[in-house]
Amino acid sequence: MSDFKCAVNEQNKATELPLLRLGGSVQQNPHMRAFWASTISFFLAFLAWFALAPLALDVAISLKICENQQFPPAQFKTQLAYLKFKSLKTGIAYCQYGENDAKKPTECKPVPADILAKPICNSTVTAGCVSEKEKLQYRPDVLNACVCTPGTDCKQVLSNAGTISVIGTIVVRIAMGTLLERFGCVNCQTGLLLWGSFFIGLAATITTPWSFILIRFLVGVVGATFVTNQVWCSLMFASNVVGTANACAGGWGNLGGGVTQILMVLVLFQPFKAAGMAPNEAWRVAMLVPAVLLFLCAVAIKLLCWDTPTAGRFDVAVTGKTQKPSMWDYVEVLKDPKVVLIAMQYSACFGTELAMNNVLATHFRTYFQMKAGDAAALASSFGLMNLFARSLGGILSDKLYLRFGFRGRIWAQFLALFFEAIFLFGFGCVDNSQPWYVALIVLVCFSMFVQMAEGTTYGIVPFMNPKQLPIISALVGAGGNLGAMIAGFAFYGAIDDAILPFKVHGCYVMFFALLSPMLYWPEYGGMFHGPAAGAALSETAPAKELEQETKKAAKEDEGVEVDL
């Protein structure tokens, strides 16, 4: 009889996911310790990774890169960013009587002669008069505290910093495949958290645009904790629940991207200002909180967790792999075009999430002209959907497999990506003439399918080449960051429009959704075909294990006992 707290199969992998079963030593309950350690560490890594995003405009003010700091309106009246500006709150434009050219303005229209001819209202003149401001050609008083709209240097710096933050993660995520095989999950996750702790703490010293971009690049390395998150769960949980386990661990980890929008602004920055700190000091002190949390989590993982159900240190033999880890493994894995396609599909969902975490708060503050707290609350709704949506994707993938076989997992992937693309395009159709809640409704629907697609992706990954599980997990994870880089540079950074990039991004997602029929394995089948006649499952494939478990589940559903 097993001494494990969880029910296990012959490989000692858990066949259940009892979320609240937390008791027991590491020898008795390695599965749930690994699950919660991978989830919490990834959550905190995400929190630190995007801690600067909701405070980007406040950082910009400290760095003096806002358009109205570099080009004071009193001296530079005809800056394009000013000429196009209109206050959504008051309805008054900087050019209150219009621009000389609606598409490419170079000057505000002069004050109409009839307005100039009228007297200024005062205590004695109250009829047929105008206010002093109505006689002004320019209205600099309506400009935001930090003008950082598309086309400005400020916008470019923030966009580049957000995109750069995911580039460092690409390299590290790819390397994580070999690193995990050599050093194991516990050591890799501990090292990444300590790295992130140091550099997010160092963010308090940012003084120039280049140091801001560099810190975001270095902090972005913690995004590689996702690879450990998925590999660790795949080593601990059996095939009947691995999709759900991976989706829950990944989704609840991604939740940090939503929580950080609220934590950094509403819980830390604004209360620090209310306590008397200057804004320039408040955001810097706020950076120390995620630094401390990452450090404490790293120590706890090192002291309390194991890599596998029966050993503190991972050995590649567990996956059926006989040769030592090698960089050549990446070449072998990439020979399979399905790996490349899955990585690019992940770029279309997880890459989209990373891009949204970088741009949403600033989008709501600049385009919808919201206050920092309100913008953070709306932006957080995107990440907070991870509370259930990614898990829902994993559960959907597992359930459709039970009903339709492996093709069910591919259909789940296609449908999630398809509706993600529809709602992302729809979000790009919501302009600032519409109420903010319209954008919120579309954003929530869009977010749900983004997270579901992430869950369905990692419902497929453990089956692709089990002997190379760490390598494939690393490559697919890196694909997510590649997608964020593409979106940052090609869409949100290159297009000088507030909402068009969302529409173009939606088309990008749809393209890869429509390639789902190309996912076909002779032993599993594809979207429209079952397994090839005579195709045999490899002895190491998770499908071999899953085949037995799903047969048993099907029989039990019918009330019939089965002897396997």
Q: Give the three-class secondary structure for 130.
A: strand
Q: Give the three-class secondary structure for 50.
A: coil
Residue 49 scores a pLDDT above 90:
yes
pLDDT tens column, 525-538? 889 887 877 665 55
Q: Is residue 108 domain-resident? A: no
Structure tokens at 28: 């008795």
Sign of CA dihedral 343, 346, 348, 351: negative
pLDDT tens column, 220-271? 999 999 889 988 998 999 878 887 888 889 889 988 988 999 999 999 999 9
pLDDT score recorded for residue 167: 85
Assign 386 a pLDDT band (cuts: 50, 70, 90).
confident
Q: Is residue 435 domain-resident? A: yes
What average pLDDT does the segment 546-558 reach? 49
Residue matched to tokens 């958290």: 193
Please state, in angstroms and as integers, the Cα–Cα distance from residue 13 to each residue in 22, 35, 226, 235, 463, following that order.
Answer: 16, 12, 20, 7, 16
In this structure, of 47-56, 215-224, 287-296, 459-468, the range with the lowest mean pLDDT score is 459-468
Whole-number mean pLDDT of the chain? 89
Q: What are phi and psi of 77, to 5 degrees?
A: -70, -25
Assign 406 a pLDDT band (cuts: 50, 70, 90).
confident
Q: Is residue 541 domain-resident? A: no
Which residue type sits at 296?
L
Sign of CA dihedral 295, 297, 301, 303: positive
Residue 30 scores a pLDDT above 50:
yes
What average pLDDT does the segment 323-340 reach? 83
Residue 282 scores a pLDDT above 70:
yes
Return the higher-pLDDT residue of 174 and 307: 307
Q: How far apart are CA 320 and CA 160, in angstroms?
A: 42
CB–CB of 375/443 below 8 Å? Answer: no
**The dihedral formed by the CA atoms of 94, 95, 98 and 102, expressed in degrees to the nearest 10:** -70
Task: Output the domain CATH number for residue 160.
Answer: 1.20.1250.20
Residue matched to tokens 């085949």: 547
pLDDT tens column, 57-111? 999 999 999 999 999 999 999 999 999 999 988 899 999 999 999 888 999 999 9
CB–CB of 525/406 below 8 Å? Answer: yes
DSSP summary character for residue 268? I
pLDDT tens column, 371-381? 988 999 999 99
Residue 540 scores a pLDDT above 60:
no
What average pLDDT does the segment 177-198 reach? 93
pLDDT score recorded for residue 177: 81
Which long-range contacts link 318-326 to residues 24+ away (Cβ below 8 Å)?
318/235, 319/466, 319/467, 319/468, 319/469, 319/470, 319/540, 320/466, 320/467, 320/539, 320/540, 321/467, 321/468, 325/178, 325/181, 325/182, 326/178
Helix (H) or strand (E) holding 81: helix 80-83
Residue matched to tokens 């050609």: 137
Query: Of 531, 552, 484, which is closest to residue 49 (Cα–Cα)?
Result: 484
Q: How far apart are CA 488 and CA 158, in angstroms?
A: 10
Give the distance, in angstroms, between the CA of residue 131 and the centroid of all CA atoms in the same chain.
48
Q: Give the three-class secondary structure for 439.
A: helix
Share of the chain above pLDDT 90, in %: 64
CB–CB of 130/121 below 8 Å? Answer: yes
pLDDT score recorded for residue 494: 87
Assign 444 a pLDDT band (cuts: 50, 70, 90).
very high
Q: How far apart are CA 445 and CA 320, in angstroms?
A: 41
Residue 557 scores a pLDDT above 60:
no
Residue 275 CB coordination number (10 Å): 8
Q: Is residue 312 domain-resident? A: yes
In this structure, of 119-133, 218-232, 260-274, 536-550, the range with the lowest mean pLDDT score is 536-550
Residue 545 scores a pLDDT above 80:
no
Residue matched to tokens 């009193």: 74
Residue 556 scores a pLDDT above 70:
no
Query: Following DSSP, what letter does each residue of 12-30 receive, concatenated?
Result: S-BS---TT---S-TTT-H
Domain residue limits at 504? 30-62+152-208+215-521
Residue 118 scores a pLDDT above 90:
yes
pLDDT score recorded for residue 115: 93
Q: Is residue 254 domain-resident? A: yes
Query: Of 548, 348, 543, 389, which is closest to residue 465 (Cα–Cα)?
Result: 543
Residue 562 scores a pLDDT above 70:
no
CB–CB of 393/459 below 8 Å? Answer: yes
What average pLDDT does the segment 197-226 reach? 96
pLDDT score recorded for residue 537: 55
Structure tokens at 317: 């033999």
Q: How far apart are CA 288 and CA 170, in angstroms?
A: 25
Structure tokens at 553: 């589940």
Assign 328 a pLDDT band (cuts: 50, 70, 90).
confident
pLDDT score recorded for residue 322: 61
Helix (H) or strand (E) holding 381: helix 372-384
Which residue type sits at 56?
A
Q: How far apart are CA 126 and CA 7, in angstroms?
A: 83
Which residue type sits at 395?
I
DSSP summary character for residue 462? H
Return the higher-pLDDT residue of 532 and 426: 426
Q: Is residue 539 domain-resident? A: no
Q: Is residue 432 domain-resident? A: yes
Residue 555 scores a pLDDT above 70:
no
pLDDT tens column, 461-516? 888 887 887 888 889 988 998 999 999 999 998 898 999 999 999 999 999 999 99
pLDDT score recorded for residue 321: 62
Domain count, the chain: 1
Residue 181 CB coordination number (10 Å): 24
